[in-house]
Amino acid sequence: MPARNRYAQYVLWLHAVVSGVFAILLLVSAGRLSVWVDWPWFDPTMAKMLGAALLALCVGSLLATRDPFKYRVVIQMEIVYTVATAVAVLYRLLRFSSTTPDFTWAVFASCAIFCLLFSVTYPSAVGAGGEAAAARGITAQRVE
């Protein structure tokens, strides 16, 4: 496995842990979490839905750790999710800064960091040249 794919595995593991922890917090004790982070516009239904989405991302990351190249569609989904979330949260922070709790900056930062990490460590084919072609099922022919 190329080193780049190994780094993708590390990022996927890290994302699985972080999203798993917050998924459990949101699914099990969203009300308590809202008090801890001073979440004034807390909606229990939306918090549970976010927890469910984070749990799905956690499971996807765990499955993709087996073979990041094979499951790169999961990483593509993670990139889309982190970009969309970062943009939405940044808009909220800039447009409604006086009513947005401070923990929202942590949400923005984590999404931006994971987007960067997923993009930088995006998995590649097994190797260069003939190995990459073989991984795609194309046989190389020797020309004499």
**Residue whose C-alpha is closest to residue 27's, from 2, 57, 6, 53:** 53
Taking only the tens place, the pLDDT of each residue in 24-51 is 998 998 888 777 777 777 788 888 999 9
Q: What Å distances lie between residue 93 and 1, 34, 51, 107, 140, CA to CA?
A: 41, 18, 21, 11, 53
Higher pLDDT, residue 89 or 35: 89
pLDDT of residue 33: 77
Contact 110, 83 (CB under 8 A): no
